[in-house]
Amino acid sequence: TVITNIASLVTNDPSLGWGSPRSSKFESGGSSPLGLIQDAAVVIDGDRVAWTGESSKAPATDNRVDAGGRAVIPGFVDSHSHLVFAGDRTQEFNARMSGRAYSAGGIRTTVAATRAASDEELERNLTRYLREALRQGTTTMETKSGYGLTVEDETRALRIAAHHTDEVTYLGAHIVSPDYTDDPAAYVALVTGDMLNACAPYARWIDVFCEKGAFDGDQARAILTAGKAKGLHPRVHANQLSYGPGVQLAVELDAASADHCTHLTDADIDALANSATVATLLPGAEFSTRAEWPNARRLLDAGATVALSTDCNPGSSFTSSVPFCIALAVRDMRMTPDEALWSATAGGAAALRRTDIGHLTPGAYADLAFLDAPSHVHLAYRPGVPLVSEVWRRGVREV
């Protein structure tokens, strides 16, 4: 298949490096890390990209698709979501918008609803949100457990998630289970013992909410270390609601990603910039909790790799829309449209330690989105407009 007449194609050519785009590059008029090709074509062979280049140089074929002057970008890689849950938290959101603060305690509401739900209901919800995300251009979605908090309920969440994505994260350490409020140490023992043993076969990653009101640095280290010994790779909910040890711990354990990064010291920024740990920013959470924005500029200017994801969950960020998060990142976190697009595609892939997605160069999976716009800049320039008009995954049109 040859897709021709693409007004502008974002390739994220990795020959330009996996490091995030540095503002200095743009200021000095240097090459864009997006590997942009104007008036472009893409050749797809099976589930992979075989060739990209100028339309005029595309090989002749019977199987031509005319993009009609639309822009084409790599499918979004949403490296952080919590989609196995039941119920919603409309009342909590309403209360927050009347001035109440967000706290991790709300997670208990969703734990109760999730435990009470059938497998079928959880699967129906999950597939609904995955489909919603796909329609908005997301072709890879990581998702977590964390609303079961018993051996059976955590295992069930991961089993259901694993039917639908390869990027599955064990988050038994979301909060201390309500069944263990008097004995958090016993809950940590469960999370690192029987629960881990039951969950590990279904997951690739282990995550901890390292925060006051959830797990402290020592507990988080014990949990992530136990997960590593079982072959799971760490990622951390770090420094969301307050300063804390999460980011330093993530770097110490070579976590693929430290997520949220809203409250960072200079030492946290330095640690991220000098590591392979990606800083994943989740502006949907700051939007929906009316919190202060993470300082993306400080991270980017220090040379950290930044990813942008939705954190889709019923409590702190009930959006499945990466385009919405891109608009927030550009308007409120001072990212350039190029940086935001890179972070939502190549950055997400880096946060999942994947080299086969997040870019459109030969050999990558043919995961791509067409925009009803001449360039990716319109994702931020035209906020709230459903610009994603067609989505292909593994070389097959799905939307």
Residues comprising the binding site? 80, 82, 89, 147, 174, 237, 240, 311, 313, 315-316
What are the binding residues for Fe(3+)?
80, 82, 237, 311
**From 9-17, 158-166, 304-312, 337-345, span contacting Fe ion (CB under 5 A):** 304-312
**From 20-28, 103-111, 117-125, 318-326, span contacting ligand NIG (CB under 6 A):** 103-111
**Shortest distance, CB of residue 249 to Fe ion, whole angstroms?**
16
- Report the C-alpha gap between 83 and 126 in whole angstroms: 6
List 161, 224, 285, 377, residue binding ligand NIG (CB under 6 A): 285
Residue 207 partner contact from ligand NIG, Fe ion, none using kind-dependent CB cut-offs of 5 to 8 Å: none
Minimal CB distance to ligand NIG: which residue? Answer: 315
Residue whose entry in the numeric block shows the structure tokens 């020959």: 15
List 1, 240, 262, 310, residue binding ligand NIG (CB under 6 A): 240
Contacting ligand NIG within 150-209 (CB under 6 A): 209
Q: What are phi and psi of 69, to 5 degrees?
A: 80, 15
Q: How many residues bind ligand NIG (CB under 6 A)?
A: 14
Tell me: does residue 78 bind Fe ion (CB under 5 A).
no
**Shortest distance, CB of residue 245 to Fe ion, whole angstroms?**
18
Distances (CA, A) of 157 to 150, 168, 172, 283, 339: 11, 10, 10, 25, 34
Phi-psi region of 257 (alpha: psi -120 to 50; beta: other; left: phi over 0): beta
For ligand NIG, give the closer residue by CB, 16 or 122: 122
- Report the C-alpha gap between 299 and 278 in whole angstroms: 10
With H, G, I as helix, E, B as strand and everything else as coil, classify residue 293.
Answer: coil
List 154, 311, 338, 339, residue binding ligand NIG (CB under 6 A): 311
DSSP state of 46: T
Contacting ligand NIG within 199-218 (CB under 6 A): 209
Tell me: does residue 4 bind ligand NIG (CB under 6 A).
no
* C-beta separation of 92 from 106 below 8 A: yes
**Shortest distance, CB of residue 311 to Fe ion, whole angstroms?**
5
* C-beta separation of 399 from 75 below 8 A: no
- Stretch (H or E) spanning 38: strand 37-45
Phi-psi region of 356 (alpha: psi -120 to 50; beta: other; left: phi over 0): alpha
Residue 323 partner contact from ligand NIG, Fe ion, none using kind-dependent CB cut-offs of 5 to 8 Å: none
Residue 209 partner contact from ligand NIG, Fe ion, none using kind-dependent CB cut-offs of 5 to 8 Å: ligand NIG
For Fe ion, give the closer residue by CB, 13 or 311: 311
Q: What are phi and psi of 60, to 5 degrees?
A: -75, 145
Within the chain, strands assigned E span: 2-9, 37-45, 48-54, 64-66, 71-74, 76-78, 138-141, 143-144, 168-173, 205-210, 233-238, 257-260, 278-281, 306-308, 368-371, 388-393, 396-397
List 13, 78, 311, 339, residue binding Fe ion (CB under 5 A): 311
For Fe ion, give the closer residue by CB, 311 or 367: 311
Q: Name the token pair of 259.
A: 């997520």
**Shortest distance, CB of residue 146 to Fe ion, whole angstroms?**
8
Provide the binding-site residues for ligand NIG, judged by CB under 6 A: 82, 106-107, 110, 209, 237, 240, 285, 311, 313-317
Q: Which residues bind Fe ion (CB under 5 A)?
A: 311
